[in-house]
């Protein structure tokens, strides 16, 4: 059954192209196999995910068979550490980055894999699959063959091996009110007002204020540039106590801003101090800025 599934997936992925150096898109592959576009039920990415899932499951099955029957001569991949030793099965495979073409015959695919275990828990790893295709002849017909190898670049529970945990900022980002295009009324109406460094942008700095009325925020990209009022679409709880955790989302036709505030020791008398996880998205360019910053708020 596994060989049959593999053949179906390979047909979807590689079709019957005469030129091995060109990869057919999903629509052409389906048409080449006599399937009309409106009958398409699987994307190229999903086909790769299925192929990777099957190969991983095959290796786990071999590992378990070797464990239960040590006298059997079973061919296991040289790299047996690309999945967690507790894994008993593959629950899901998700592509988390675009497919990378290394050469005409080699592709690299970064995936998030969720494994089931023998104790009914789940663990996840980030695994890179490298898929190499070649052409072989059988009975005078050219067929595509594939080989898959794996590398694990992330430990279980989604903790990156080589990426240190982000540290909390020790001070508030300082800025001058002269940099703002806000009116004095708007400045006084802000419960929180802070600046975010946007190094890899044209405007370099981003200013944001949340109004006490819990209806809108105000945003400015760069010094003394145009300001925009941005509606609050997901408000923090009105029953929350001052100085406790909160999160909000603001959005208009141009921008989306998400805030998640975690209280810390107050730095200024009469105000509450928070670590704010700030996420800004430019909806037209898809540019995203994420920062953790320290700020003082009235509530």
DSSP character string of 240-281: PPTTS-EEEEEE-SSEEEEEEEEEE---STTSEEEEEEEEEE
- Pairing mode, if any, of strands 141-152 and 204-211? unpaired
Last residue of a domain, one of 160, 192, 219: 160
Q: Does 82 share its domain with 185?
A: no
| Residue 184 resides in a domain | yes
Same-domain check for residues 61 and 117 = yes
| 101 and 192 share one domain | no
Q: Are residues 187 and 72 in the same domain?
A: no
Using alpha carbons, select from 181, 246, 178, 237 the residue that is nearest to residue 208.
181
Residue where a domain stops, chosen among 130, 160, 190:
160
Domain of 231 in residue numbering reads as: 177-297
The reply to whether 269 and 212 lie within a common domain is yes
Strand 122-138 vs strand 159-160: parallel, antiparallel, or unpaired? unpaired
Question: Domain boundary at 105, 132, 160, which?
Answer: 160
Report pLDDT digits (tens) over 88-109.
Answer: 788 889 998 888 888 888 889 8
3 is written with which tokens?
Answer: 């060989």
**Helix and strand numbers, DSSP H then E, in the chain:** 4, 15
* 166 found inside a domain: no
- The pLDDT, as a whole number, for residue 36 is 47
pLDDT digits (tens, 9 = 90+) for 42-64: 788 888 889 889 988 888 887 77
pTM for the whole thing? 0.46
Instruction: Note whether residue 115 is domain-resident.
Output: yes
272 in Cβ contact with 243 (< 8 Å): yes
Is there a single domain that holds both residue 10 and residue 149?
yes
Number of structural domains the chain divides into: 2
Give the count of alpha carbons within 13 A of 34, CB side only. Answer: 0
Residue 121 pLDDT exceeds 90: no
């Amino acid at each position: 059954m596994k060989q049959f599934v593999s053949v179906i997936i390979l047909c979807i992925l590689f079709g019957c192209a005469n030129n091995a150096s060109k990869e057919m898109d999903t629509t052409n592959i389906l048409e080449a196999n006599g399937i009309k576009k409106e009958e398409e039920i699987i994307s190229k990415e999903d086909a790769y995910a299925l192929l990777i899932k099957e190969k991983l499951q095959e290796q786990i099955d071999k590992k378990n068979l070797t464990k239960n029957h040590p006298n059997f001569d079973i061919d296991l991949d040289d790299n047996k550490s690309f999945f967690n030793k507790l894994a008993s099965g593959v629950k899901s495979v998700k592509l988390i980055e675009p497919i990378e073409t290394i050469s005409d015959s080699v592709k690299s695919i970064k995936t998030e894999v969720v494994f089931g275990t023998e104790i009914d828990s789940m663990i996840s790893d980030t695994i890179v699959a490298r898929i190499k295709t070649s052409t072989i002849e059988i009975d005078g017909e050219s067929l595509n063959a594939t080989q898959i190898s794996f590398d694990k670049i992330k430990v279980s529970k989604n903790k990156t091996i080589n990426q240190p945990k982000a540290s909390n900022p020790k001070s508030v980002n300082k800025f001058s009110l002269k940099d703002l295009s806000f009116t004095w009324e708007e400045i006084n109406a802000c419960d929180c007002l802070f600046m975010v460094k946007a190094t890899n942008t044209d405007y370099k700095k981003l200013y944001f204020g949340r109004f006490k009325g819990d209806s809108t925020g105000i945003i400015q990209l760069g010094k003394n540039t145009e300001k925009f009022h941005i509606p609050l679409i997901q408000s923090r709880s009105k029953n929350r106590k001052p100085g406790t955790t909160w999160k909000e989302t603001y959005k208009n036709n141009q921008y989306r801003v998400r805030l998640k505030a975690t209280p810390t020791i107050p730095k200024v008398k009469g105000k509450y101090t928070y670590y704010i996880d700030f996420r800004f998205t430019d909806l037209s360019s898809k540019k995203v800025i994420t920062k953790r910053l320290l700020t003082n708020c009235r509530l």
